[in-house]
A and B are shown apart, each in its own frame.
Chain A
Amino acid sequence: MNQISSQPPIQTDDQNIARSVIRTTTSDQAAALRESFLVIEDGAILLDARLRVMLCNIPATIRLGHYGAPPSRGYPLTKLIAHSSALDADARTTVLDRCSAMSASDLAGIEARLVFGDIVIRIRRLALGRLLLWVPASRAAGESSLHDPLTGLGNRRVFQAALAAIFTKPNASAALLMIDLDRFKQVNDTLGHPVGDALLRLVGQRLRACLSQEDVVVRLGGDEFAVLLQHLDGVDALGKRLIDLLSRPYLVEGHLANIGASIGIAVAPSDAHDPSTLMRHADLALYDAKAAGRHCIRFFKSELNARAQARLALETDLRRATALNQFALYYQPLVDIASGRVTEFEALLRWQHPSRGIVSPAEFIPLAEELGLIVPIGEWVLRHACRTAATWPADVRVAVNVSPMQFSDSKRLICAVADALTTSGLPGSRLEIEITESVLMHNNAETLETLHALRALGVSIAMDDFGTGYSSLSQLRSFPFDKVKIDRSFVSQIDGKGGSGREVVRAIAALGSNLGMTVTVEGIETDAQADFVETSGGHQMQGYLISHPVPSDMVSALFSPQSPIASAPNPEPVAPAGSRRLRGHDHEK
């Protein structure tokens, strides 16, 4: 980047025009603005309230046929227009008249579009009487260059120009509110895109309704909006008002829609001295608002930066984890209640990081899902679980958890399962896929098709964590599950008097049995729980009382004595039929 001259160029020849960058700004803070202006192929001129040039890019001079020295900071618009050979006398007067009217007061409108032959000049009033003149490279481009076509609000270009204009003044005050709609995707998915679009238009209107003409409000894309204020007064109150207003119900295209909003706020100069930092910090605050449960405002604070860095580091490590062989599978046995035999193991993912130690799946699985890494990781789990299970006795099965995200690419999932079976030689009947209820929430028809395709490979399908989240009994009827696993939270409520968990477990067990499903009760940690479960109507149990998840080399110690071993010699009998606690012989007291 060239050093920016603090003096207007005294004398410049035509050659200089070609290699001149925008020689207009005096401070380093304007670097970002210069950059954003440089990448624009359309002409752009930023004027202060006295109609003097703050910035002007080369395409603007070319487009207007400006001759002479490139307009530098402080260059009057009157001169710039007077030297624009592409405009005739009438056009020049029109541009000057409109600019002075719009700069003087917002009563003249905050936007104008002037057409002179094939030249279009769009004028937009920014805060403090500043104007942005846009001279698109072609007429067609002019239509969309400043506007979001859907909502009629400003677009990203207007936003960047307005943002950059703020930082041309040292220590200028500004507040940036990043707004994200809550539950918009659900509305869009259930009511359709036309309704979603109409809803976004109403959101735009409501935003505009709470702001003054001076405030810049833009749609950045999707359901993301931004508001830029040139002051810091009442920012908190405004944010609250925006959330209140955006969360009120909408009547749209014959439907009632309810959405919410989350807002992240960063302010200048205390949080940032340049546009990109302000944006990044407002984004981090928005992320924080969403993490706090949405429907709230969060201001940027420096801890967010630290947290973002920690997250980024975790992300970097996670991306490397597969390649560095840091994942391992642990196996937790499921015991058949009637026979007391171990009939199945659930494969559970562990991430062993050299410096972090064992990272909890609760910590890295959500991140892996967010980054899309869950798909390759899930495939790795399938391959390894099948390969390991193939070495077990022929009547012992393996259960593998599959993330809802893997269902979004159903072909890939089906291939991954088929490949894992073929490569390992494990019969499909010895693999069980566990899904959570959330899998059934999205795209139901396609999901059911995928489940049937997996079933066709001989694989059985289990509903995991049943009874949490959006559970409804109808979910059990939507697909002929082979198994339902009752969520551990009910089991933990079995102990003590009046534990409502007992009735729930009995009811689900009865329902599952009637539907022909195996019923597994998870999270068994006490003898009292096991005693109850044995009489509850459930078929299988799983939990710390029986065994913690163990590494694959310790699995064989947990096999029931009668199990014929496919490829390994019979281990010592460690758990007589009927005993709950399974121990490897090396742990036996």
Chain B
Amino acid sequence: MKNNFYRAVYCSRCELIGSPETITAELQSILATSRRNNRPAGLTGALLFANNCFAQTLEGEREAVERCFERIQIDPRHSDVTVLEFGPAVERDFTEWSMAFVGDPSATSPDPLAVALFKDIFADNHADSGAKVLLLLRQLVHQEDLWAIA
């Protein structure tokens, strides 16, 4: 059982287009679906939206993580999916969240931290990006829920 606990961290580019309101509405729908699906599957995680990119971590039983990831993969609302980390994990990072969310779609200037992070990742310098993304998500989620939609 212990060995069957896995974590996946990935990034992708957002393919949503429209006004901040439209994008916020789409994100809310993505989050609602993901929370609805994740809870019964025993999945937790966090989603970051910044600079028109997604970073997400999923944690739970291996089969559940794989199934959820596959569902996300065939979603046309994103592209350029890059898996930064996938493997057995020791414990949950986001015990409280079926899917925590950080990001502000209406932000006029992108979060500098996220810009730096995504630049690295899509430039293929992602040797330790998985750990970086995870750390960032952890900090942001635990720091405050001010940005949280929903």
Contact = CB atoms under 8 A, between A and B. Distances in A.
Interface of A: 202, 205-206, 209-210, 244-245, 248-256
CB-based closest 9 A-B pairs: A209-B74, A251-B66, A249-B83, A251-B69, A256-B86, A248-B81, A248-B73, A256-B83, A254-B62
Contacts of A256: 83, 86
B6 interface: yes
B65 interface: yes
A206 B79 contact: no
Contacts of A245: 73-74
B70 A249 contact: no
B62 A249 contact: no
Given A251-B8, A254-B6, A254-B62, A202 B79 contact: no
B80 to A, nearest CB: 9
A212 to B, nearest CB: 15
A198 to B, nearest CB: 9
B62 A205 contact: no
A206 B73 contact: yes
Q: Which of B81, B83, B87 has the most CB of A within 10 A?
A: B83
B82 interface: yes
B70 A251 contact: yes
Contacts of B8: 251
Nearest to B86: A256
Interface residues of B, number: 17
B79 A244 contact: yes
Q: What is the interface of chain A mostly: helix, strand, loop, or mixed?
A: mixed
30 contacts: A202-B70, A205-B70, A206-B70, A206-B73, A206-B74, A209-B74, A244-B79, A245-B73, A245-B74, A248-B81, A249-B10, A249-B73, A249-B81, A249-B82, A249-B83, A250-B70, A250-B73, A251-B8, A251-B65, A251-B66, A251-B70, A251-B83, A251-B86, A253-B66, A254-B62, A254-B87, A254-B88, A255-B86, A256-B83, A256-B86
Nearest to B80: A248
A250 B65 CA distance: 11
A438 to B, nearest CB: 25
A210 B62 CA distance: 25
A227 to B, nearest CB: 16
Nearest to B79: A244
Which of B10, B66, B87: most chain A Cβ within 10 A?
B66
A245 B80 CA distance: 10
Contacts of B81: 248-249
Nearest to A245: B74
Interface in B41-60: none
Interface centre among B8, B73, B79, B88 (most CB of A within 10 A): B73
B54 to A, nearest CB: 13
A209 B74 CA distance: 7
A252 B73 contact: no
A411 B56 CA distance: 51
Interface string B67-91: 0011001100001011100111000
A548 B36 CA distance: 73
Contacts of B74: 205-206, 209-210, 245
Contacts of A206: 70, 73-74
Nearest to B78: A248
A346 B44 CA distance: 63
Contacts of B69: 251
A377 B87 CA distance: 47
Contacts of A244: 79
Nearest to A209: B74
A515 B70 CA distance: 48
Nearest to B10: A249
Contacts of B79: 244
Contacts of A255: 86
Nearest to B76: A241
Contacts of B87: 254
Interface string B1-38: 00000101010000000000000000000000000000
